[in-house]
Amino acid sequence: MDEKDVRILHAVATEGTRSTDAIHEATGIPKSTVHYRLTQLREDGVVVNDLGDVDPAAVGLDVTLVTEVYAEFEKGYHEAVGEELGDIEGVNQVYFTLGETDFVVVSHLSSREMVQRVVEDFEAIDGVRRTNSTFTIQTVKSEPNPLADFELETLLDALVD
Amino acid sequence: MDEKDVRILHAVATEGTRSTDAIHEATGIPKSTVHYRLTQLREDGVVVNDLGDVDPAAVGLDVTLVTEVYAEFEKGYHEAVGEELGDIEGVNQVYFTLGETDFVVVSHLSSREMVQRVVEDFEAIDGVRRTNSTFTIQTVKSEPNPLADFELETLLDALVD
Amino acid sequence: MDEKDVRILHAVATEGTRSTDAIHEATGIPKSTVHYRLTQLREDGVVVNDLGDVDPAAVGLDVTLVTEVYAEFEKGYHEAVGEELGDIEGVNQVYFTLGETDFVVVSHLSSREMVQRVVEDFEAIDGVRRTNSTFTIQTVKSEPNPLADFELETLLDALVD
Amino acid sequence: MDEKDVRILHAVATEGTRSTDAIHEATGIPKSTVHYRLTQLREDGVVVNDLGDVDPAAVGLDVTLVTEVYAEFEKGYHEAVGEELGDIEGVNQVYFTLGETDFVVVSHLSSREMVQRVVEDFEAIDGVRRTNSTFTIQTVKSEPNPLADFELETLLDALVD
Amino acid sequence: MDEKDVRILHAVATEGTRSTDAIHEATGIPKSTVHYRLTQLREDGVVVNDLGDVDPAAVGLDVTLVTEVYAEFEKGYHEAVGEELGDIEGVNQVYFTLGETDFVVVSHLSSREMVQRVVEDFEAIDGVRRTNSTFTIQTVKSEPNPLADFELETLLDALVD
Amino acid sequence: MDEKDVRILHAVATEGTRSTDAIHEATGIPKSTVHYRLTQLREDGVVVNDLGDVDPAAVGLDVTLVTEVYAEFEKGYHEAVGEELGDIEGVNQVYFTLGETDFVVVSHLSSREMVQRVVEDFEAIDGVRRTNSTFTIQTVKSEPNPLADFELETLLDALVD
Amino acid sequence: MDEKDVRILHAVATEGTRSTDAIHEATGIPKSTVHYRLTQLREDGVVVNDLGDVDPAAVGLDVTLVTEVYAEFEKGYHEAVGEELGDIEGVNQVYFTLGETDFVVVSHLSSREMVQRVVEDFEAIDGVRRTNSTFTIQTVKSEPNPLADFELETLLDALVD
Amino acid sequence: MDEKDVRILHAVATEGTRSTDAIHEATGIPKSTVHYRLTQLREDGVVVNDLGDVDPAAVGLDVTLVTEVYAEFEKGYHEAVGEELGDIEGVNQVYFTLGETDFVVVSHLSSREMVQRVVEDFEAIDGVRRTNSTFTIQTVKSEPNPLADFELETLLDALVD
């Protein structure tokens, strides 16, 4: 991927749209180029469906880190700590959990240097007491849309009154 | 949401497209209805962007479970176990990790009955020795597209040679 | 259950009596209504015996939480911390234990919002260092009166000199 | 307490009633004696309210044990294991939990010999892999009726639609 | 045991002698009584050998507690903390260990009240961060003199150059 | 210490007596030698009191090992496993405990080779699943007679009715 | 590094010599080339001293893995398991330890694929029950010769009688 | 080993050379003695190859300690803490790791006194919160040069582009 690819894919992700017009407006890249590049990236499997979802590994974010975060006990601490965790670049998901761990965080990163930086960023948050990160050897499944995790019948039973 | 909404959203997720034609073909619902419903769901915040990403809670999948799975030691066991975990309905992400836990699994579910069923499904897999699930009190962040987790400049530095 | 049911059942629990007179006095609800409602709740299985014991799930308290509480070390801390834990609404049992955990707490709650509030209330207690809560998937047994846990012969052996 | 007291209190617990007639029928003890003894036990604080609830310590069950039970993984195992745990004499509560521990069990016992027997009974159940028991130094709170754990207003908010 | 027995046995333990003269001097109890009582206690199995070793359970110290103590990190802290642990009444052995736990402490106590007091005394020591106590269901072996743990031949091999 | 010292001290420990006659009978060493040697060992601090108690370090048993033993679950397993643990040379104390660990074992040993042998002996017992040993850096306190752990007044309160 | 560099460095490591003759004999690479290349690698910092020690990262082995290995309990198992662990390519150090973990293993690897292969090789050993690997973010210190870890004076005190 | 041996081996390690001239210069010991002693130590197996690598046990450093270090969370703390750990005499390797433990440290020591000193030195570092050391019963493998851990073919595949 070159700079244009990255600019286009980033705009798709942050603007939440695949409209050529909107991407052009956000990036200044000519519409025809936007269209051509997206088609190409779709053909190369970097973009995995017509919705613009990307394969993190194909895009260069091939290091996935799962981190348990233990935080200090202060009334309402988790709101603040949770948001700060979410603001760290590369952090994709932040769950405030009920059990022994306060947060479970999933990050997609591109290199070991980035891992070291993210771990240091976790540490730098006030209220974070301890973190425990583990590398993902393999992402067996990661489905962008949770509705695709079910058979239609199951969903109808569960979600329709 | 009624049955039509669920059918349309499920098709968006599994077909990987927001094209009215494609959704119509997959569901048999008239194109005008598909179009109207998607517009409505977008306005209601169930669909969160032009890419068709949904808010799991708004869609009724408001229970998120993070599960650590410990498996038996057999050469190549993790391939088989990982796939079986991914096949369980409701399982959204499966990571094969390096540390003490063999897999970390994230599921989006709609009720406590579904939780009990999923936990029993985990147990029923040959090679699964022990699981440890925890409820998510709050999903602080969950971004469908990992590129949106970064500033553009960081991505350009990291992904462009 | 409507408001009258809740008022009557609450009075049974806090006054420790099933006397129609006493319930009437505590709630202002006419005696005949008290009598009728209790009979009805008994028939519906909400009240499970002639002693006025209720089925927590039938009454709407269908979320049971088991929490381990770790507290700070101060001479006599456990008296104060234990009492504060017991004062939190929804907390049903508080055990000061000998092992690694300082307290084990059992709560019966009615919703996930209540869970989040109770966990925050635990955190807000001075001297509480860390908590670890887990949901109960199923209450397999919960007997209000511990004497019912034994055969009569065992009790006679154990309790009569 | 003598044998008559134990017989009467056991009948109250297992029949779920304080009716003199019913206790007489269940125990064969004359009604007047039943009435007199229950009044006496109420005055002595062994029976703690008009509902017949007892103070476990006053009744001689002054050892409370909290046990974590880890079980084997077999489809549906927890139904069978949970019931067997509940059938052990002295076991008062059995919770099937979501986290690392499979069951949390609370027992009220009368002596160290009984503790040893109960721990051995846990072990003897097929499918139980490991148990971890801890003594309760002090029961800070144990409320027979969970409705008494709430202010009336909170209950009305939570349980009335 | 009556008061005289306790006085005599305590003197044997603290003076480190079974000499009738020395015990008499330490306790003021007539020599003939000292002699008679010790003979009697020996016959009753309270004193288990001619060296004056006692059976803790027979003497009434039938509760054995094993406690892991975690302490704060300060240069030389363990000397001070270790000594304070050893000074607590009922503490029989204090080991400063290499692993995760800082100290392992063995106590012989006579009642649950004493257990609660000892646990509070542990907590009251400056520098003690956390303790984890467990009851001993059964003392399978406790040999006062470690030389009796070996065959003579093994000792000769190990201790003679 | 030479061979005679070891023989004499071993006899004191296993015969449970300091009587010169008895030691002579058990060892075949002349009474005058027995007497002289014991006096000498007392003066050297190897024997620490008139009861014949030894300082394990002075006697050459300067390695103390604290071991947690996890055993398999079989009805009555702990009796058998506990006895086998106690039969291993060097094992001084075996406690069957209530918590997560099944046994806590204290051993006094003379060398690293002996440590390796003892750990292997633990492993060789049927029913032992896992052991966790830790070295004692320093024995802060080890009192042969538990009565010496108390003030006389405390003992009188606790042990005399 | 090209193939000749790798052949030469491998020969230095496995033959345990820097002699040009010996390296030539082992590799068939002309002596002058051996000499030139070693000089060059020394200048480039790949070879870090005149003894031929290499910097693992400079040589391309920039992934260091620390693994805890838990093994089954069989008499003498650790000899066999330890050797099999040591035979796995990339494994640099294998320690049979006293504590909860049976072995601690340090590996130097060149890629994530190699990590996955090594973890699978650990799993494939009979008698290995569970492993827990962690990545090294940074090797802060790794000194080939342990004598360099001490001041000379300390060594003289410690090692000279 | 006498003082000259230690001086020579220390110089080999710290100067990173086996050159007789360089060792002579560093130690003042005559070249012929240096040569003779090194030959002798090589023959005795203390020096294990022509590169001057030593067998830690043969040299008297026969106690290997593996220590997990938990540190406080401060931005950039690990740089400082890691360096201080590496500066402690006897510390051979320091790894800054990704998981629950902050550092894994390997030390080669000569006596239990040295163990106690090193553990105290760990504690004395600002920012170190807790350490967990374990003895190595046996060093199954410790290869000074990581290239010797591989077959040549594997290295060529992995390291040559």
Hey, what are C147's tokens? 């004497």
Contact status, residue A93 vs residue A103, Cβ threshold 8 Å: no
Q: Measure CB to CB from residue D137 to each of E116, E134, E138 and give the nearest one.
A: E116
Contact status, residue G107 vs residue G94, Cβ threshold 8 Å: no
Cα–Cα distance measured from residue H44 to residue H39, given in angstroms and rounded to the nearest whole number: 9
Segment (H or E) for F43: helix F31-43
> Exposure of C156 by Cβ count < 10 A (0-12 exposed, 13-18 middle, 19+ buried)?
middle
Cα–Cα distance measured from residue H56 to residue G145, given in angstroms and rounded to the nearest whole number: 9
Whether residue A66 has pLDDT greater than 80? yes
Predicted local distance difference test score (pLDDT) of residue F138: 86
Q: Which residue of C has its CA nearest to D108?
A: C146
Determine the average pLDDT of the residues in D47-60. 90
* Pairing, β G128-142 against β H91-97: antiparallel
**B130 interaction partners in chain G (CB closer than 8 Å):** none
Which pTM value belongs to this model? 0.88
Q: Which residue of A has its CA nearest to H101?
A: A132
Cα–Cα distance measured from residue A108 to residue A89, given in angstroms and rounded to the nearest whole number: 9
Q: In angstroms, what is the C-alpha Rg of chain E?
A: 19
Cα–Cα distance measured from residue D115 to residue D123, given in angstroms and rounded to the nearest whole number: 12
Chains that touch H (3 or more CB pairs under 8 A): A, E, F, G
Cβ burial F84-111 (10 Å sphere, 16+ → b, else e): bbbebbbbbbbbbbbbbbbbbbbbbbbe
With an 8 Å CB cutoff and a minimum of 3 pairs, decide whether chains A and B touch. Answer: yes
Q: Measure CB to CB from residue A53 to each of B3, B111, B144 and give the nearest one.
A: B144
Contact D99 B134 (CB under 8 A): yes
Predicted local distance difference test score (pLDDT) of residue B76: 67
Helix residue ranges, H only, chain G: 3-15, 20-27, 31-43, 77-87, 112-124, 152-159
Predicted local distance difference test score (pLDDT) of residue D82: 93
Hey, what are A55's tokens? 């394969």
Determine the average pLDDT of the residues in E118-131. 88
Contact D147 C111 (CB under 8 A): no
| C-beta pairs of H56-59 under 8 Å, 24+ apart in sequence | H56/G146, H56/H108, H56/H139, H56/H142, H57/H139, H59/G146, H59/G147, H59/G159, H59/H1, H59/H9
**F74 interaction partners in chain D (CB closer than 8 Å):** 123
Contact C132 A100 (CB under 8 A): yes
Residues 6+ apart with CB under 8 A from A49: B16, B17
Q: Which residue of B has its CA nearest to C113?
A: B137
Q: Is F108 helix (H, G, I), strand (E, B) or coil?
A: strand
Q: Which residue of G has its CA nearest to B76?
A: G120
Residue F65: which of F34, F39, F94, F35 has the closest Cα? F94
Predicted confidence pLDDT, tens digits, chain H (161 residues): 899 999 999 999 999 999 999 999 999 999 999 999 999 999 999 999 988 899 998 989 989 999 999 987 666 677 889 999 999 999 999 999 988 889 999 999 998 889 989 998 998 898 888 899 998 888 889 988 899 989 999 888 888 86
Predicted confidence pLDDT, tens digits, chain G (161 residues): 899 999 999 999 999 999 999 999 999 999 999 999 999 999 999 999 988 899 998 989 989 999 999 987 666 677 889 999 999 999 999 999 988 889 999 999 998 889 989 998 998 898 888 899 998 988 889 988 899 999 999 888 888 86
Contact status, residue F147 vs residue E9, Cβ threshold 8 Å: yes
Cα–Cα distance measured from residue G32 to residue A24, given in angstroms and rounded to the nearest whole number: 61
**Least Cα separation, residue D154 to chain E (angstroms):** 36
A126: number of Cβ within 10 Å: 12
**G2 interaction partners in chain H (CB closer than 8 Å):** 160
Chain C interface with B: residues with Cβ < 8 Å: 112, 115-116, 119, 134-135, 137-138
Contact status, residue G66 vs residue G142, Cβ threshold 8 Å: no
Q: Measure CB to CB from residue D139 to each of C95, C141, C144 and give the nearest one.
A: C95
Q: What is the pLDDT of residues C52-94, one digit of tens each?
A: 899 998 999 989 999 999 987 666 677 889 999 999 999 999 9
Determine the average pLDDT of the residues in C133-145. 89
Low-confidence ranges of chain F (pLDDT < 70): 73-76, 161
Contact F98 D120 (CB under 8 A): no
Q: Is B68 helix (H, G, I), strand (E, B) or coil?
A: strand
**B116 interaction partners in chain C (CB closer than 8 Å):** 137-138
Residue C118's pLDDT band, with cuts at 50, 70 and 90, is very high
Amino acid in the structure at residue D58: A
Cα–Cα distance measured from residue F28 to residue H142, given in angstroms and rounded to the nearest whole number: 51
Angle CA(F19)–CA(F23)–CA(F25) in degrees, nearest 5?
115
| C-beta pairs of B88-92 under 8 Å, 24+ apart in sequence | B88/B118, B88/B121, B88/B122, B89/A149, B89/A150, B89/A151, B89/A154, B89/B118, B90/A149, B90/A150, B90/B61, B90/B114, B90/B118, B91/A141, B91/A149, B91/B118, B92/A141, B92/A142, B92/A143, B92/A146, B92/A149
Chains that touch A (3 or more CB pairs under 8 A): B, C, G, H
Residue A74's pLDDT band, with cuts at 50, 70 and 90, is low
Q: What is the pLDDT of residues A13-37, one digit of tens each?
A: 999 999 999 999 999 999 999 999 9
Cβ-Cβ contacts under 8 Å between C and D: the total is: 252
Mean residue pLDDT across chain D? 90
With an 8 Å CB cutoff and a minimum of 3 pairs, decide whether chains F and A touch. Answer: no
Q: Is E82 helix (H, G, I), strand (E, B) or coil?
A: helix
Predicted local distance difference test score (pLDDT) of residue H33: 96
Q: Which residue of E has its CA nearest to D119?
A: E137
Cα–Cα distance measured from residue G94 to residue G77, given in angstroms and rounded to the nearest whole number: 15
Cα–Cα distance measured from residue D74 to residue D77, given in angstroms and rounded to the nearest whole number: 5
Segment (H or E) for B7: helix B3-15
**Least Cα separation, residue C114 to chain B (angstroms):** 11
Determine the average pLDDT of the residues in B21-31. 95
Cα-flanking dihedrals φ and ψ of residue B69, to 5°? -120, 130
Determine the average pLDDT of the residues in D28-34. 96
Q: Measure CB to CB from residue H137 to each of F119, F137, F138 and give the nearest one.
A: F119
Hey, what are C100's tokens? 């690694």
Hey, what are B39's tokens? 């517009």
Alpha carbon D125 to chain centroid, angstroms: 20
Q: What is the pLDDT of residues B94-133, one digit of tens each?
A: 999 988 889 999 999 998 889 989 998 998 898 898 899 9
DSSP E95-134: EEESSSSSEEEEEEESSHHHHHHHHHHHHHSTTEEEEEEE
> Exposure of B65 by Cβ count < 10 A (0-12 exposed, 13-18 middle, 19+ buried)?
buried
Chains that touch G (3 or more CB pairs under 8 A): A, B, F, H
Alpha carbon E126 to chain centroid, angstroms: 23
Q: What is the pLDDT of residues F7-51, one digit of tens each?
A: 999 999 999 999 999 999 999 999 999 999 999 999 999 999 888
E161: number of Cβ within 10 Å: 6
Contact E135 D135 (CB under 8 A): yes
